[in-house]
Amino acid sequence: MRISVVIPVYNSAESLVKLSEEFNIIIQQRKFDFFELIFINDYSPKPETWSTLTEICKKYTWVKAITFTKNFGQQAATFCGLSNASGDYIFTMDDDMQHHPKFIERFLEHLEHDVVIGKIAGRQSHFMDKITTSMKAYFDEIVLGKPKHISLSSFRMMKKEIVEEMLKIKNVKPFIIASILHITGNIVNVSFEHEKRMEGKSNYTFSKRLKLFTHIIIDNSSIMISLLRKIALYTFGLSLIYISYLLIRKFFFGVGMLGWTSIISAIMLLGSLNLLGISIVGEYLSRIFPIIENKQAYVVKQKINF
């Protein structure tokens, strides 16, 4: 069995050492045919992050490390790791020990599925976290077509052939679950217990979650264009009905058409819809430009043990 584990790294150091030690125990017990642990340093502001990764790579030859020239985000870092992974089954995990390596055994019990996603068992969250999580799950179903019975997390296992198809999708702002749902429906959940964060705190602030949401609805779907088309059709239909109503009143009942107020209201409504449509189309075009310019989702500065 050939296994690759991809872990984006940001603002951590101690947990990276612990992760490597835990994986060393697992591979000594399991004796995989091939195993690699790939850390991707997403331009971490903590200075000791890269030096810690360098020392880990010296200690374990099966540990590999990549560092970026700037911060490109977790999704881009994960895609970088996927593009450098050689295993037949590829895992993605967080770097803070909340996804404990011991749980990969549960994933390996479901090798018949294309993708296995970890579902957090008995998670305790703050009220606002629960609200934002529920909202995200709803929009994932509407925008990305996520099945209702599937829970999402960044702890997942994917077959190599699925990852290869994901990497064919050209997107400057890639989103992993959007790519997965586009390629396969053979997805299953496996429960795992969320461990205590070893260091630092969550980097997903409200503003970052909002930014990620815009990437989902614009960079990874056409839902806004579809919504705009529906609004335009409904508005056109209502306009025809209203015009027909006014003409019937005029020619059959002799009632004069309404004056300045109704005309201005109609102009303002249609004008605002036009501006909305232009702005949405403009947003899509602005996000197409980087693809036309052949900009990359990330830029690698250095690799170790490849």
CA distance 232 to 276: 11
Tens digits of residue pLDDT in 71-87: 999 999 999 999 999 99
Single pTM value for the model? 0.80
Task: Tell me whether strands 300-304 and 63-68 are parallel, antiparallel or unpaired.
Answer: antiparallel
Of 47-56, 104-113, 217-226, the poorest mean pLDDT is in 217-226
CA distance 101 to 3: 13
User: In the structure encoding, which two tokens stand for residue 236, read together?
Assistant: 């056109």
Compute the radius of gyration of the chain from its Cα atoms.
25
User: In the structure encoding, which two tokens stand for residue 123, read together?
Assistant: 């998670």
Kindly indicate the confidence band of residue 194, based on its pLDDT and cuts at 50, 70 and 90: confident
Q: What angle do the packed helices 176-183 and 160-167 form, to 10 degrees?
A: 110
Kindly indicate the confidence band of residue 253, based on its pLDDT and cuts at 50, 70 and 90: confident
Query: What pLDDT, on a 0 to 100 scale, did the predictor assign at position 143?
Result: 76
Query: What pLDDT, on a 0 to 100 scale, did the predictor assign at position 139?
Result: 76
- Looking at domain 2-221+297-304, its CATH class is alpha beta
Which residues of the chain form beta strands (DSSP E)? 2-9, 34-41, 63-68, 89-92, 115-121, 156-159, 187-193, 300-304
CA triple 85-87-91, angle to 5 deg: 75
Conformation bin of residue 108: beta by default, left when phi > 0, alpha when psi is -120 to 50: alpha
Task: Tell me whether strands 2-9 and 115-121 are parallel, antiparallel or unpaired.
Answer: unpaired
CA triple 142-143-145, angle to 5 deg: 70
| Domain parsing of the chain, residue ranges | 2-221+297-304, 223-292
